[in-house]
Structure 1
Amino acid sequence: MRMLVNIRIPHEPFNAFVRDGTIGAVLTQILEDTKPEAAYFTEQSGWRGAVLIVDLDDPSRVPALAEPWFLKFNADCEFRIVMLADDLKKAGLEALGAKWK
């Protein structure tokens, strides 16, 4: 199941990792461990942020994705199921529309 992980990172302890020069290693370790399909870094309401696309074969993997962000950065993580256009085509929307008129 493909998921979008929206991460909001507080200024601390992120700033401390930047100051001591270890932020690159910390982020590399998290990304190598979680293996997202894509990772984007952005601003979110004045905070640092990241948006990851991950493909989970088992929901029990959610903690393994979230805990590094929680433990290293005290970050907030939101998980949303997402689909590609081809996935949406297979959803049977026409049949659902007919059933729930």
Structure 2
Amino acid sequence: MRMLLNVRIPHEPFNTLVRDGTVGEVIGRILEDIKPEAAYFTEQNGTRGAVLIVNLDEPSGIPALAEPFFLKLNADCEFRVVMLPQDLMKAGLENLGSKWK
């Protein structure tokens, strides 16, 4: 299942990792491990953030995706199920519309 993983990264310990030159290694290890389909880094409410698209076979895979961010960056993680347009086309909206008139 395709999921959007929204990560909010506090200033610490990220600032310390930037200062000691290891932030690239840490981020690289996390991305290599979770293998996102896409990864975007951005600002979120005045702090650092990331938006990643990840694939999840079953809910028990959530800790493997979130724990690296929790343990290495003290980050907050939110997961949302997302669909491609072709997924939405398979949803049967036309039948749901008639069912719930």
TM-score range, shorter chain: over 0.9
TM-score, with structure 2 as normaliser: 0.98
Matches within 5 A, 1:1-101: 1-101=1-101
Please list every run of 5 or more consecutive structure 1 residues that lacks an aligned counterpart in the other structure.
none
Give 1:19's aligned amino acid: R
Question: Which stretches of structure 1, 4 residues or more, deviate above 3 A after TM superposition?
Answer: none
Measured after TM superposition, the shift of residue 59 of structure 1 is: 1.3
Quote the RMSD (CA, aligned, Å). Answer: 0.5
> Unaligned stretches of 5+ in structure 2?
none
**What is the identity, as a one-letter code, of the residue corresponding to 1:28?**
G
TM-superposed deviation, 1:55: 1.1
Counterpart CA distance in 2 for 1:21 and 1:58 is 35
Moved more, 55-64 or 84-93: 55-64
SS of aligned partner of 2:21: coil
The DSSP-based 3-state class of the residue aligned with 1:69 is helix
